[in-house]
Amino acid sequence: MKNECPIGLFDSGIGGTSIWKEVHALLPNENTIYLADSINAPYGLKSKEEIIALSIKNTEFLLNQNCKMIIVACNTATTNAIKELRAKYHDIPFIGIEPAIKPAALQSQTQTIGILATKGTLNSDLFHKSVANHPEVNIIEQIGHGLVQLIENGDMDSPEMEELLKSYLTPMIEKNIDYLVLGCSHYPYLIPQIKKIIPSHIKIIDSGEAVAKQTKKILELHNLLNNSNEKSSQIFYTNSEPEVLEKILNYSEKVVFKNF
Ligand code: DGL
C-alpha cells in the first residue's frame, strides 16, 4: 500500500536530520528512511555535475527502498540538482530545501540580511534567482568554509568552530543585519554557538519548519498520508561512522552502517 511506504530523505551527511526532526514532529505517523552520504561530504565544494550524480545515487537508493516521496534535505543538492531529479523521476514528488531569503527580506527593518551557506548553494542559479527577487534588500553572503566538516566530525563546540563563526558573523553584525539566514541544513546545529556571537535582536531563520509544512501539504495533495495505526518506523543509514549521527539524534534512533 503506497500510503504506508516511507518518506525518503537524503543529505551529504548528518545535517539533514535537522529537517528530519521537523518532519517527524509534524508527521509522526509517517515511516521515514534517512540517508547520510557522509563519505562524500561536503557537497558544497563539488561541481554541479558531481552534485547531480550523487543526488541521483541517493535517490536510486531510496527508491529501491520503496519511498513514496523524496525530501532533498540539503540546500546544496536542492539548488544544484532538484530540477534534474524532478525531470528524471517525474512520478515521485520531491521536496527541496532552499535558503529562506524571502521571509527574511520581507521582515527586515534594516533592509540588510545575512546568509551563511555553502559555496555550492551561493553559486547556484536557483539562489541567484531568489536574491534577484529582493533588490531592495542588501544581502550579505558568506560561505561557511569548514563548518560542515567540523559538524561531521562532531566538533560543534571546538575553539576552531568559534573562531570560524566569529570571522563569518562579525562583518555581518557590523553591516547591521537584523536577520541571519542559515542556508545549509547542517547549520541549525550551530544555533547555540551562533547565539553567543550575535546580538539578541538579530533573528535566525532556517527552513526546517517550512519544509515540514510543505511535505504535509504535498502528501495531502497526492493522497499519500499514512493513516495506518501501527507505530511508524524511522530508519537511518550512513556510509560513515554511525556514532556522530546517533549522537545528533540524541541516541533516540538506531543508525545502520551501509556501503552505498
Ligand atoms: N547540508 C548541506 C546543505 O544544506 C550540505 C553541506 C555540504 O555538504 O557542503 O547545503
* One domain for residues 87 and 49: yes
pLDDT tens for residues 174-225?
Answer: 999 999 999 999 999 999 999 999 999 999 999 999 999 999 999 999 999 9
CA atoms of 20 and 15, how far apart (whole Å): 9
Q: Annotated catalytic residue: which of 113, 184, 205, 244?
A: 184
Among 160, 189, 205, identify where a domain stops: 205
Q: What residue numbers bound the domain in which 37 lies?
A: 2-97+208-259
> Is 91:205 a contact under the CB 8 Å cutoff?
no
For range 106-124, the mean pLDDT: 97
Q: What letter does residue 224 receive in the DSSP assignment?
A: -
Task: Examine the pLDDT at 235 and tell me if it is beyond 80.
Answer: yes
* One domain for residues 105 and 141: yes
Distance of CA 17 to the CA centre of its chain: 8
Q: Output the pTM of the full model.
A: 0.95
Q: Is 78 a pocket residue for ligand 1 (Cβ < 6 Å)? A: no
CATH of the domain at 37: 3.40.50.1860
* One domain for residues 215 and 161: no
User: Is 5 annotated in the active site?
Assistant: no
Atom number in ligand 1 closest to CA 44: 9
pLDDT tens for residues 4-38?
Answer: 999 999 999 999 999 999 999 999 999 999 999 99
Task: Examine the pLDDT at 1 and tell me if it is beyond 70.
Answer: no
Report pLDDT for 178.
98
Q: Annotated catalytic residue: which of 52, 69, 71, 74?
A: 74
For residue 171, give the amino acid letter: P
Q: What DSSP assignment string belongs to 165-219? A: HHHHHHHHHHTT-SEEEEESTTGGGGHHHHHTTS-TTSEEE-SHHHHHHHHHHHH
Q: Which three cell numbers stand for residue 104?
A: 527574511
Atom number in ligand 1 closest to CA 12: 8
Among 185, 205, 225, identify where a domain stops: 205
What's the number of domains the chain is made of?
Answer: 2
